[in-house]
Structure 1
């Protein structure tokens, strides 16, 4: 029976299979493959920080919806990054040591 070893989390990278923002039922954007998951999650955290600020602004500024739309698109981007990372960590490739 081969000895299996899971990759170290710092070696994991995004797989780029997660689309976001659709136009005419086609994804306009997707997460890029090959980004270290730590960097990807850090970026998602920064995006979610902005989402929180935009959502708060939207709650107080009833004259415009620009903050709400900004929060909407940033949320879609953040969710896609997190979903892509979850795909990587949920189904890690097992490597066999020789």
Structure 2
């Protein structure tokens, strides 16, 4: 297994959808430590906006800000989890197994 400090996001996780199409995906190649740090910052801001939304009933802008920041933070964490999960070794498909090795 690779050193965890060398692991990077895989760029798999989408977030913020329109119907069934994602507007954004986490970018691949970000060190997982940096991704987790950024996620912590996003979720901290979301927490602050959620608290503001609970006390300020005149507008919902704080709640929407918290919602979007939470989506981004969660996507980063989900992508880090994908990078940390061991992936099964790829085996040849039936058609690849029948091909000669010289190709």
RMSD after superposition: 1.4
User: Which is higher, the Rg of structure 1 or of structure 2?
Assistant: 2
Relative contact order (C-alpha < 8 Å, sep 6+): which is higher?
1
TM-score (ref. length: structure 2): 0.83
Q: Secondary structure at the match of 2:23?
A: strand
1:41 aligned partner: 36
TM-score (ref. length: structure 1): 0.87
Distance in 2 (CA, whole Å) between partners of 1:62 and 1:28 is: 29
Q: Secondary structure at the match of 1:88?
A: helix
Task: Show the 5 A alignment for 1:2-81.
Answer: 6-81=1-76
Deviation at 1:52, TM superposition (A): 0.6
Deviation digits for residues 60-87 of structure 1, max 9, x if unmatched?
0001000000000000000000000001
2:97 aligned partner: none
Deviation at 1:93, TM superposition (A): 7.9
